[in-house]
Amino acid sequence: MNTVQRNHADIVQSVVTSPAALGRAGFAASWRRSLIHHKLDPATQRPIERLSTPEMRARREAAGLLVRVASPVLDRLARAACDAGCTVLLSDAQGLILDERVRDGDKREFHASNLAPGTDWSEGAEGTNGIGTCLAEGRAVTVWRDQHFRSTNTGLTCMGSPVFGATGELAGVIDISSVRDDMAEGYARIVALTVQDAALRIEADLFRASFEGARILSAGAGENAPQGVMLLALDRDDLVIGATRAARRHLGIEDSAIGRLPADDLFSGQTTRGGLEEAQRAEMARALARSGGNVSAAARDLGIGRATFYRKAKALGLQV
C-alpha cells in the first residue's frame, strides 16, 4: 500500500472514532457503517470475485423487467459518458452489477478496479461507494475519490441514483463511474444530474411495463408536485391498482388502498386536486381528439365505459 492509501485509511479511522469529526465529514455515517457494522478494513483491497455465468443468468432473471427496461437508457447514457472515459453500470437492489456500458479500451482498467458485471458493490462488500451508499441511503449520491471507504477505491469518482420499482421498492441503481484524475467537480455534478434523470426514466418505463394494459395517469402536474415519477395505474373501474413511490408519498396512498381506492377520491385534497384533475382532463381530451369527438370510441381507447366517460367529463368540466 502506498503512502496516500495508508493516509486515507488513517483518516477514515480517525473520523469514525471522533465525535467532532463525524459531524463534519460528508460521508462519515457511511464510513461508520462500513467500519463498525460491516467490519471492513479501509486499508485492505477486496479480492476480485465475480459470479459465474449461470449465477449471473439467475441474478439477471431475478431482476425481472429491470434489465430489459434499462437497456435502451444505458445505451443513451453510454453515447456521451463512454466518450468521456466513464463506465455506465446497472446494479440490482443488493448492489450486484448486472450490466455495463464501457469502451473496449477502458474495460481493462475498470475491471481491474472490480467495476464489472457480477461483482458486489453493496456497502457491506465495498464500504462507501456510489452504488452501495445509494442503496443504503435511498438517495442519489456522488462519491468523490477520497470519500470512498476503501483506500484502493480513492481513484474512482462514482455518481449513483436509485431506481424505484413499480410498488415503490428499491429496484437497483444507475451509476456512472470514472477513473480519471482530471474530472472536474462541475462536470461531475452535470453527470450526476444526467444519472438522476436516467433513473427517473427507467422508473417510469418500469412502472408502465409492470401495468401493461392499465390506464396510466400522470399525477405530477401542478406547482405543488414533488420531484420524482408521479404515475398512477387505473383499471376499467377507475380504481388505483398501482402508484409510483413519489405518487404514494405525495398523495398519501397506503399499500392497503391499492386495488380498492377510486381515483376520484384523490381529488378531494386541495393540494392535489388541480394537478390530478388537469392530468385526467387532458387525457380524456386527447382521447376525444383521436376519436374525432366520438365518445364511445374515446371511452374504448381509455378502457372505460361510455357512461363512466360522460360522468367524469361532467365532473371535470370537459365539453363532449
Q: Phi and psi at residue 261, in whole multiples of 5°?
A: -95, 115
Note whether 69 and 98 are within 8 A (CB).
no
CA atoms within 13 A on the CB side of 155: 13
Query: What span, in angstroms and rounded, lies between the C-alpha atoms of 295 and 182?
Result: 60
pLDDT of the residue at 275: 58
Q: Which residue has the cell 500500500?
A: 1
CA atoms within 13 A on the CB side of 240: 28
Q: Which residues of the chain have pLDDT under 70?
A: 1, 4, 20-26, 220-227, 267-277
CA atoms within 13 A on the CB side of 123: 21
3-state secondary structure of 252: coil
pLDDT of the residue at 117: 97
Could you tell me which residues come within 8 angstroms of residue 49 by beta carbon, excluding any fewer than 6 positions away?
119, 120
pLDDT of the residue at 22: 58
pLDDT of the residue at 223: 45
pLDDT of the residue at 21: 61
pTM above 0.85, yes or no: no
Dihedral (Cα; 1, 29, 246, 265), 10-degree rounding: 160
pLDDT of the residue at 304: 81
- Which grid coordinates are listed for 284? 380524456
- Which grid coordinates are listed for 313? 367529463
pLDDT of the residue at 121: 98
Instruction: Convert the pLDDT of each residue in 239-291 to its tens digit.
Output: 999 999 999 998 889 999 999 888 878 765 544 445 566 777 878 888 888 88
Instruction: Convert the pLDDT of each residue in 159-169 to its tens digit.
Output: 999 999 999 99
